[in-house]
Amino acid sequence: MIKDSEGVIIKTVCRLITPIIQLYALYVIAHGHYSPGGGFQGGCILAASFILMVLAYDIKEVKKRMSEKLNTVLCSLGVIIFAGIGLLCLILGANYLDYGILHKILPVDPAHARSLGILGVEIGVGFTVMAVMVSIFLNIASGGKHEEEGETS
């Protein structure tokens, strides 16, 4: 049962810190192909920012910003971005997930195009992981009853 927490300090600090956490998560995603980081790690941190808001406020408050429909769309969008970039390489004439061929549509040389291709799929992975983590948490915290008030059985 996650009720509204009383303290003003908790609410204010969480409100201030959440954008910083999300910025850090985007930093981790953007550096995944070049240094430590990546899609899965960044996606988890993005999800952690939403879970922090749930712990500070009520589930219903967070559901106003991240409804189940938006979650579903984001989850599908991430997988479509990943598989879509692979299909794009297939359409342009190379094997599946052969990012080097992307230099035909992007103004860089093939080696650079591989690097940008991996960045693209990492962004897709980040979306999906965030959506799935938030959805797991919201489902378990509300005991499976998404539509009603968040009560455990």
Partner 1 sequence: MEIMDFIISKYNYLIYIILMMIGFYAMIAKNNLVKKVVGMNIFQTAIILFFVSTASKKGGATIPIIQYGHGEATDIINTAQYINPLPHVLMLTAIVVMVSTFGVAIALLIIIYRKYNTLEEDEILNILKMEDGK
Partner 2 sequence: MIENAPALIVILPLIAAPVNLIIGLWRKDLCYLFTVATLSACVLLSVDVLVTVISNGVITYKLGGWAPPWGIAYFIDHLNAFMLIIVSFISLVVSVYSKKSIEKELPDKVVHFYTVFLLLVSGLLGILITGDVFNLYVFLEIASIAGYALIAIGDDRAPLASFNYVIMGTIGACFYLLGVGYLYISTGSLNMADLSELLPGMYNSRVVIGAFAFLMVGVAIKMAFFPLHKWLPDAYTHAPSTVSAFVASTMTKVGAYVMIRIMFTVFKPYFSIELIPASAILGWLAVAAMLFGCIRAIAQSDVKRMLSYIIIAEVGYIVMGLSVGNRMGFTGAVLHILNDAVMMSCLFLSAGSIEYKTGTRSVHNFAQLYKKMPLTMAAFTIGGLSIVGIPPTCGFFSKWYLVLGALESQQWVFAATLLISSLLTAVIFFKVLVNVYFGSQSSADFESSSGHGTVVMDEAPLSMLLPTGIMAIGVLTLGFFSGKIISNVIQFTVPGGF
Would you tell me which residues interact with partner 2 (CB under 8 A)? 69, 72-73, 75-80, 83-84, 86-87, 90, 94-100
7 lies in the binding site for partner 1 (CB under 8 A):
no
**Cα separations in angstroms, 29 against 86, 90, 106:** 19, 25, 21
**Cα separations in angstroms, 7 against 11, 13, 15, 122:** 7, 10, 13, 38
Contact 53, 21 (CB under 8 A): no
Token reading at 84: 């879509």
By rule CB under 8 A, what string of x and - marks binding of each residue 97-136 to partner 1? --------------------------------x--x---x
In whole angstroms, give the CA distance from residue 2 to residue 12. Answer: 18
- Of the residues 40, 51, 83, 98, which one makes contact with partner 1 according to CB under 8 A: 40
Total chain residues near partner 1 (CB under 8 A) = 12
153 lies in the binding site for partner 1 (CB under 8 A):
yes
- Of the residues 4, 15, 19, 143, which one makes contact with partner 1 according to CB under 8 A: 143
- Of the residues 14, 25, 37, 38, which one makes contact with partner 1 according to CB under 8 A: 38
Contact 26, 17 (CB under 8 A): no
In whole angstroms, give the CA distance from residue 75 to residue 136. Answer: 12
CB 47 → partner 1: shortest distance, Å? 11
1 lies in the binding site for partner 1 (CB under 8 A):
no
35 lies in the binding site for partner 1 (CB under 8 A):
yes
For residue 108, give the 3-state DSSP assignment.
Answer: coil
149 lies in the binding site for partner 1 (CB under 8 A):
no
